Structure formats: C-alpha cells, structure tokens
Amino acid sequence: MDQDVTKKKPRKVVSRFELAASRMAEAWLEAGAITVSPDDLRVARDFLTHTGWTVREVNGGLLQLARRRGGPARQMTREGVVLFALRGLAERS
C-alpha cells in the first residue's frame, strides 16, 4: 500500500517492540511455531510497562500481567505475554 506521507505523516515509533514485532512474527511463520527468546520477552515487557501494565514472574515459569490502575491480574506464558503485547500494539495503530 502506498502512503503519501506529505498529507498524513506516519505515527512516531515510540518503542523497540514496535520495530521488533514484525521480525518476531516473520520468524514464527518461518518456524511454524511461536518461540519467544529472552530478548523478545524483554522488549515486550518494556512495551507493556510503558502502556500501563506490570509484568512479574510467578511460579511455574508463568508471568503475571496486571493493569497498574487495578483490575484482575492474568497469568500467562511468555508466548502469551508477547501475543498480548502484539494485540495492544495493533489496537494503538
């Protein structure tokens, strides 16, 4: 899709996750599976923290995701946290 950036400027990239998301998804498609590296998780956590979430490790290798303003916490796998961050990124676009 062509975009005339003189009429509507692209949105400013504010996180490393926005740049890494496409690379992650492409790697998952090529591998046929979602695998999350420690670096992928780190940039996703940074993005979520920047957008109002707290992410902390809990028992069994799961991560707990909660809104800083309150509300129920969710426990997810590393892959789930990264997919949740991708969904949040898509909602911002």
d(CA 40, CA 88): 15
Mean pLDDT over 53-71 rounds to 92
Q: What backbone torsions phi and psi does residue 40 show, to the nearest 5 degrees?
A: -60, -45
- Radius of gyration over every alpha carbon of the chain, rounded to an integer in angstroms: 15
User: Domain boundaries in the chain?
Assistant: 36-92
In terms of pLDDT, which residue wins out, 37 or 14? 37
Mean pLDDT over 11-30 rounds to 86
d(CA 20, CA 51): 16
Residue 1 CA to chain centroid, in angstroms? 24
CATH number for 36-92 (one of 1.20.120, 3.30.920, 2.60.40, 3.40.50): it is: 3.30.920
**pLDDT (tens digit, 9 = 90+) per residue, 63-90?**
999 999 888 999 999 999 999 999 998 8
pLDDT exceeds 80 at position 34: yes
- Does residue 66 contact residue 54 with C-beta atoms inside 8 Å? yes
pLDDT exceeds 80 at position 14: no
Provide the whole-model pTM: 0.81
Angle at 71 between CA 65 and CA 75, to 5 degrees: 25
